[in-house]
């Protein structure tokens, strides 16, 4: 389906996302009256789309290599976390890349899937993972995908508008767990979150920087292409210990998101539209709305 233009990229994105979403919707309908099968299906899909465990494993492995002053191993591990060129990065550059990746990927790999699963069920889980994976495949800026990947990149931006900000809020709330202050993390998020070229990544990274008391941003090299990112936060550059603190904060944010998503799923819609209440009232044969759900 590849052609070097945005129209072809939009067709590709529509198929790559639409097919799994339709399949998930069909599976959801097929198990509507089979609670055990439905539970197993949703549980399997949730396990598949979440990436928090691998994120923690890779970040911790890189931190251990830095703690042992093994830069060669740390550089080999970085591509599992971030797409930047690691060949010339020193200890501070590797640690900064790891912390930034943990911050951003907490939204991509944990909070985002849980949010969309809570909002849209099985199709939400599958659809979000399809969009996010598609962005990683073709959404980056390169000569081949400069136009073709535009639709994938924009879809990922839209899908992460809420999850990225929810992730940042969870980082702010969890700042005391890593020795930070809620006020500093919140202020750094509000002040610096919009400075990043991505509408979403900067939200997570700024809140993380404020929680850890470090400075993120700087020069990043991607396959020969150099980008200069604005500074996020104040303080020293992160080190291997800060990677561990970032992993701890990411884990706490993921656990909180899981609790919120579970509560949301178990309690059903928080708000019921007026047209639904009117329809129920006009059809007395239907079961009444439960107290507190409208």
pLDDT confidence of residue 266: 80
Mark 178-197 as b/e (b = at least 16 C-beta within 10 Å).
bebeeebbbebbeebbeebe
Q: Is 115 exposed, middle or buried (CB count within 10 Å of its CB: 0-12, 13-18, 19+)?
A: buried
pTM value is 0.88
**Which structure tokens are listed for 105?**
């990927």
- The residues near 43 (Cβ < 8 Å, ≥ 6 apart) are none
pLDDT along the chain (294 residues), means of 10: 95 96 95 91 92 94 95 92 86 94 96 95 95 91 90 96 97 97 97 93 96 93 80 94 97 96 77 51 52 43
Q: Is 168 exposed, middle or buried (CB count within 10 Å of its CB: 0-12, 13-18, 19+)?
A: buried
Provide the residue ranges of all domains of the chain, joining segments of one domain with +: 6-268
pLDDT confidence of residue 264: 87
Query: For residue 85, how many other CB atoms are within 10 A of its CB?
Result: 17
pLDDT confidence of residue 284: 54
State the Cα–Cα distance between residues 72 and 65, nearest whole angstrom.
Answer: 8
Query: Helix (H, G, I), strand (E, B), or coil: what is residue 146?
Result: coil
């Amino acid at each position: 389906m590849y052609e070097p233009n945005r129209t072809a990229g939009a067709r590709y994105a529509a198929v790559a996302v639409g097919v799994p979403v339709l399949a998930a919707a069909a599976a959801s309908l097929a198990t509507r009256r089979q609670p055990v099968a439905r539970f197993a299906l949703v549980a399997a899909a949730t396990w598949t789309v979440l990436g928090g465990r691998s994120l923690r494993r890779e970040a911790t492995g890189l931190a251990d290599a830095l703690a042992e002053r093994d830069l060669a191993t740390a550089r080999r591990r970085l591509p599992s976390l971030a797409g930047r060129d690691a060949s010339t990065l020193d200890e501070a550059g590797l640690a900064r890349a790891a912390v930034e990746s943990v911050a951003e990927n907490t939204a991509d790999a944990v909070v985002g899937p849980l949010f969309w699963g809570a909002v849209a069920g099985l199709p939400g889980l599958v659809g979000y993972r399809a969009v996010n994976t598609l962005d990683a495949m073709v959404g980056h800026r390169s000569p081949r995908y400069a136009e073709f990947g535009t639709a994938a990149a924009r879809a990922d931006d839209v899908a992460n508008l809420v999850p990225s900000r929810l992730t940042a809020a969870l980082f702010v709330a969890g700042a005391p767990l890593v020795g930070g202050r809620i006020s500093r993390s919140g202020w750094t998020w509000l002040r610096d979150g919009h400075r990043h070229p991505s509408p979403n990544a900067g939200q997570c990274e700024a809140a993380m920087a404020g929680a850890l008391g470090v400075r993120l941003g700087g020069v990043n090299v991607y396959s020969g292409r150099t980008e200069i990112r604005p500074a996020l936060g104040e303080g020293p550059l992160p080190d291997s210990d800060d990677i561990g603190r970032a992993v701890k904060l990411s884990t706490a944010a993921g656990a909180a998101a899981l609790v919120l998503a579970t509560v949301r799923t178990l309690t059903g819609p928080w708000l019921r539209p007026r047209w639904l209440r009117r329809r129920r009232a006009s059809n007395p044969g239907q079961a009444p709305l439960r107290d507190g759900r409208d």
